[in-house]
Amino acid sequence: MLETFHNLYVNTGFSHIGWQMLVMWVVVATLLYLAVYKKFEPLLLVPIAFGALLANLPTEGIMEGLEFAGQTYSFKEDGTGGLFYYFFQGIHLELFPPIIFMGVGALTDFGPLIANPRTFLLGGAAQFGVFGVFIAASLMKYIGIHYGLQEAGAISIIGGADGPTSIFLANKLAPHLIGAIAVSAYSYMALVPVIQPPIMRFLTTKEERRIRMKSLRKVSKLEKLIFALVIMMLCVILVPPASPLMFMLFLGNFMRESGVVDRLSKSAQNEIINIVTVFLGTSVGITMNGKYFLTAQTLGILALGVIAFALATASGIWMAKLMNLFSKNKINPLIGSAGVSAVPMAARVSQVEGQKEDSSNFLLMHAMGPNVAGVIGTALVAGFFMTMLG
């Protein structure tokens, strides 16, 4: 009998379960709880959590051929890879992030930004969080956690709260950190309604939160089409490495605004982005093997990520307050927090916080200006890092 149980133990996956796996199971349960019961970015967290669960189970036919975090899994005897070897090519070949950007563009209305172009400054100010954490990550060596400049650049982009851009840059500069960076970026995107409000209330007064902004003018179809073309060209000329993201973002937006390719636009908004999100999320999750994920370097990334996000939120608010010193047409500083590119959740948080002070004050459309400006700004900063560090 004992021999039978011993053979069962040895010949099944139970003998491969270690404490790191058990810890990661708790992490997976937490991600699923946030997704299912708190409804924090479930479209992202559910596939990431399932990928992470697979990474911490004794699997077969899944990991063969993969290389990440210093670990290499051999190919099968017939020379083929496992399931996720092929999924992961979408990240390695830089396919998934730009395709998701096309869907984001097709879902995004740049009208509020065009109607109030000074909100570009709020989206730009949020990038101070990125550069601040780049410096902080470079100095982590003094507490025993070493990040090279390329790793620091990849980590710092978490402050932009843009998952696809974070993955795109990490794949260029620090592919061994993709899992930790992506999980950090997507987790903090999901936690926008938790992280941002205390910072917003701390940095603003009741009078500032009650500021009512003038209604935005109606933006014509022609303006939106010209905006998509001109801004795409300027971004590509200024930061060529950001070309894949900028091209796909504004292609999706042009399809939306042109009104002549509704089938393509709706596909980009729904089927295409949904399918790619499943592949991207599970591919990110599969890199969260506890043996390589539970390290001081990874935990440092999680800590730096929340600092980057908080600093980006604060920078947008400070910029709005600074602009109000020189403007008769006041800006409600709450919309400055939407400069992070978590679209449209950050804009919704600005709306909710504004209505807590004045239930008849509607900030959503105003906040969408810095929100979409943040998308553009974060992609440009990523391109800058690729130029300078890549």
pLDDT in tens, 321-364: 999 999 889 999 999 999 988 888 889 999 999 999 998 899 99
Q: Is residue 203 part of a domain?
A: no
- Quickly state the pLDDT bin for 3 (edges 50, 70, 90): low
The residue among 349, 327, 331, 332 whose CA lies nearest residue 340 is 349
Domain enclosing residue 152, as ranges: 101-191+217-389
- pLDDT of 244 reads 93
- Mind giving me the DSSP string for 281-296? HHHHHTT--HHHHSSH
Give the rounded distance of the alpha carbon of 321 from its chain centre.
Answer: 26
Average pLDDT, the chain: 88
Dihedral angle over CA of 342, 347, 349, 353, nearest 10? 150
Q: Is residue 8 part of a domain?
A: no
Dihedral angle over CA of 319, 321, 327, 330, nearest 10? 120
Query: How many structural domains are present in the chain?
Result: 1
- pLDDT of 295 reads 81
Structure tokens given for 25: 């199971």
Q: Is residue 40 part of a domain?
A: no
Q: What is the CA radius of gyration of the chain?
A: 22
- pLDDT of 7 reads 61
The residue among 284, 310, 55, 275 whose CA lies nearest residue 170 is 284
Q: Is residue 178 part of a domain?
A: yes
**Helix 149-156 vs helix 296-324: angle between axes, to the nearest 10 degrees?**
60
Q: Is 314 exposed, middle or buried (0-12, 13-18, 19+ CB in 10 A)?
A: buried
Query: What pLDDT digit, counting tens, does each position of 140-182 carry?
Result: 888 888 888 999 999 999 888 788 899 999 989 988 888 788 8
Q: Is residue 121 part of a domain?
A: yes
Q: Is residue 201 part of a domain?
A: no
Any idea what the Cα angle at residue 34 is, between residues 173 and 202, rounded to 5°?
80
- pLDDT of 2 reads 61
Determine if residue 359 is left, alpha or beta; phi over 0 gives left, psi from -120 to 50 gives alpha, anything else beta.
alpha
Q: Is residue 151 part of a domain?
A: yes
- Mind giving me the DSSP string for 56-114? TS--SSSSTT-EETTEEPPPPTTS---HHHHHTHHHHTT-HHHHHHHHHHHH---HHHH
Structure tokens given for 276: 């790619």
Query: What pLDDT digit, counting tens, does each position of 33-69 carry?
Result: 988 998 877 888 899 899 999 989 887 778 888 876 6
- Quickly state the pLDDT bin for 12 (edges 50, 70, 90): low
Q: Is residue 3 part of a domain?
A: no
| pLDDT higher than 60, residue 9 | no
